[in-house]
Structure 1
Amino acid sequence: MTRLSVEMLAADTAEPITSAGHAQLGIAVLAGIAVIVLLITKFKLHAFLSLTIGSLALGAAAGAPLDKVISSFTSGLGSTVSGVGVLIALGAILGKLLADSGGADQIVDTILRKAGGRSMPWAMVLIASVIGLPLFFEVGVVLLIPVVMMVAKRGNYSLMRIGIPALAGLSVMHGLVPPHPGPLAAVDAVGADLGITLALGVLVAIPTVIIAGPVFSKVAARWVDVQAPERMIEPRTSGELEKTGRRPSFGATLATMLLPVVLMLAKALVDIVIDDPENSVQRVFDVIGSPMIALLASVLVALFTMGRPAGFSKGRLSETVEKSLAPIAGILLIVGAGGGFKQTLIDSGVGQMVLDISKDWSIPAILLAWLIAVAIRLATGSATVATISAAGLVAPLAADMSTTHAALLVLAIGAGSVFLSHVNDAGFWLIKEYFGVSVGQNLKTWSVMECIISVVAGGLVLLLSLVI
């Protein structure tokens, strides 16, 4: 268990800041979530501010002293940002290097040269899944949409036949596979092992993305048979590529992007095989397979495998790194505030309340986690808010779980967090505008695809919890 997880466990078992009973705590939870939902949906307030105010409302409704509520919120925010902030920043740098160097273009172009006809939707899934590993969902969408449009136009494909597989690849990575912010925050909140979560996440992601991507795209293309809008079809270039005409090779780019995944999976495998914390080999892999070192190694390698071949000077590399960090400020604050809300829940005694109430239920903890994430996702429209809030509520359930089941609890939360994107989700409108479809058409394609991802992944996680 990491130092952060130990600290969080100690905080989880501290004396509650209020003596409220279960009924009052239940009302307080509903009040806090209702405030967050209302502020985000009705007043369009930023999620960071909404989570902050919701945490204060939760504490007040629970009868906790305001100074202790503030202390809980700030400590939760600080521990969450310290745990995942560096990882989010490193992921952003890697994604920016990938985009600016032309590495993303190289991967896309190479795969598309070798795919055609019926294999094209499968190629789009592969592209989106690989590209989506280090990128935030919105960044991945912006990066891939021009490719989707060009492929659909040149190959005379229905837009949904090509677009849905690409979106499925991005969405599955976003919900289930670290180092995305939501799964990372849930791993920290639950105290799960990141390497095992990553390994099981990939295992669940493969069948999920096949069903929600290439398979569902056949149905989606019949339901909504539209062509790529002309306004979105532009030559595919990167700013620096226009100047140099150079870009990194396919092999080097792919190896660099997969490096952190390989290192983290290797750590998980060594931990299982050796299972001796004092063993020197395991200690080495514990270091190089830690999320921060794995991502840092990938970023440092990318400076040479992506930046140098693209003709980047030292100044240009520095500029790329600097520009990659600015856009993640909002995400860091949202994730941090989510951690603050989670800590307020725990310190108020809500976690123990969930344990006390759910111990007599016949509903499995995995299913409970999925349902809570679904409810918050439907209400707020934010997968990240749903993941962090649900993780805070069900984290105490992981205390008596095995390492494997704790990882599955994280994946259940991630699966529930992507359920039914609709009008309160910014991603819904992003896809609608890019694809040039109506609200109804977007609900029948994008929204249904998100439901399929959530249900299939949730079902697979529940199945795994019964057999392993």
Structure 2
Amino acid sequence: MPLIIVALGILALLFLIMGLKLNTFISLLVVSFGVALALGMPFDKVVSSIEAGIGGTLGHIALIFGLGAMLGKLIADSGGAQRIAMTLVNKFGEKNIQWAVVIASFIIGIALFFEVGLVLLIPIVFAISRELKISILFLGIPMVAALSVTHGFLPPHPGPTAIAGEYGANIGEVLLYGFIVAVPTVLIAGPLFTKFAKKIVPASFAKNGNIASLGTQKTFNLEETPGFGISVFTAMLPIIIMSVATIIDLLQETIGFADNGVLAFIRLIGNASTAMIISLLVAVYTMGIKRNIPVKTVMDSCSTAISQIGMMLLIIGGGGAFKQVLINGGVGDYVADLFKETALSPIILAWLIAAIL
């Protein structure tokens, strides 16, 4: 019965969004209330579960996503993204530009959370696509594939790090095996899949698309944009900060030297939120003040970035509410009990349960 309720809830969600054209966030809340009541949750627990789901989800990503959006907006509005794009075009050429995007996305994805890397790379992909007049999907699919794979397979990202902790696995070995699996996965899901998808759905590759959710993208004369080096440095600064902190943490675990105040401070600086705040302040200077752009203009770009992702954050929070209802309503435990005696491979079983939920 719980699985039937979840299935009906998902169908209702699709009907509200696609059929009635109801706002996605409102639809998620309505379905969350309905599924909670159908699962028999006590009336006094329904609202608290929904609030906990929204808070728990946004508590992790709101700050990172918001700061990442502002950082990406500053790089785009200053012309830094266009400078990076055109330099890559000139360096790799049109024939190899897809591979340049794959390599850059993979490197960025190692240290940056998926949502932050996405916000940073989307303007660059659109700039390259616009300049070369090639399909956005031709570059976008490999970019997303690289970011997704690194986020799912490689520490210090939350998922693989948490799993390593649960199983008592060595982080270094998880990273090594992650690379072994990640590299071919990116190649298959990125450039190779793009060629296959283009034959199956060619019309999709003819669409222009837009990045309205990140605000209007400006165009510049290349001479008016920041230098390539400072643009790359500004975009990569969160990666540099978090990478250094991660390497030091790994060295501490490997060598076993005692913890101290310096290491605690490094971990504070290397935290994703802290790294993004520092990087944003640096971007305000390198992409704005240093180029004699008024602070008010720079802040206007930041405000625009936040206003454009406000609904996206609410939708993510609504998804967290629905997730929490499923957990508190006992759906997760029910699925676990359902498959407890199965002889199915635990790897396949774990994937099926995750896919269903």
Q: TM-score, structure 1 length as denominator?
A: 0.59
The 1-side partners of 2:207 and 2:55 are apart by: 46
**Aligned pair partner of 2:322 in 341, 364, 380:** 341
1:52-91 to 2 correspondence within 5 Å?
52-91=29-68
Q: CA deviation at 1:319?
A: 1.1
Correspondence for 2:224: 246
Q: Who is 1:167 aligned against?
A: 140
CA shift, 1:169, in A, is 3.1
Question: In structure 1, what residue type is equivalent to 2:296?
Answer: G
Q: Match for 2:62: what amino acid? A: G
Asked which structure has the greater RCO (Cα within 8 Å, sep 6+), the reply is 2
Matched, 1:258 2:236: yes
Find the aligned partners of 1:347 and 1:230 in 2 and give their Cα distance. Answer: 42
Q: Structure 1 residues 264, 168: closer, same or farther in 2, change over 3 A? A: same
Residue of structure 2 in register with 1:270 after alignment: 248
Distance 1:362 1:37 in 2: 34
Alpha-carbon distance in 2 for matches of 1:202, 1:314: 43
In the other structure, the counterpart of 1:94 is 71
Distance 1:124 1:199 in 2: 22
Letter in 2 for 1:64: M
DSSP-derived class of the 2:224 partner: coil
Once the two structures are TM-superposed, the CA of residue 284 in structure 1 deviates from its matched residue by 2.5
Change in CA separation of 1:31 and 1:324 when aligned onto 2, cut-off 3 Å? same
- Please, which of 253, 263, 268 is the counterpart of residue 287 of structure 1? 268
Alpha-carbon distance between aligned partners in 2 of 1:219 and 1:240, rounded to the nearest angstrom: 32
The letter of the residue matching 1:169 is P
Give the equivalent residue in structure 2 for 1:359.
Answer: 340
Any unmatched runs of 5+ in structure 2?
166-170, 210-215
1:91–1:199 CA distance, 2 compared to 1 (3 A): farther
Q: Percent of aligned pairs with the same residue?
A: 33
Equivalent runs, 1:17-166 vs 2, <5 Å: 24-116=1-93, 118-126=95-103, 144-145=125-126, 147-152=128-133, 159=134, 163-166=136-139
Aligned to 1:398: none
Please state how far the C-alpha of 1:57 moved relative to its aligned partner: 1.5
Distance 1:202 1:217 in 2: 23
Quote the offset at 1:339 in angstroms. Answer: 1.4
Quote the residue 2:168 is aligned against: none
Residues 75, 343 of structure 1: 8 Å contact kept? yes
1:326 Cα deviation from its structure 2 partner: 0.2
Aligned length: 332
- Deviation of residue 76 (structure 1)? 1.6
Structure 1, unpaired ranges of 5+: 1-23, 153-158, 376-389, 391-468
Distance in 2 (alpha carbons) for counterparts of 1:329 and 1:254:
27
CA contact (8 A) 2:149 2:185 kept: no
Deviates more, 1:41-50 or 1:86-95: 41-50
Q: Distance in 2 between matches of 1:115 and 1:58?
A: 52
CA 1:362–1:310: 2 relative to 1, 3 Å? farther
- 1:325 match: 306
Code of the aligned partner of 1:32: G
Residues 370 and 107 of structure 1: CA distance in aligned 2, closer, same or farther (over 3 Å): farther
Deviations 1:158-182 (A, max 9, x none): x46xx55411233225534569xxx
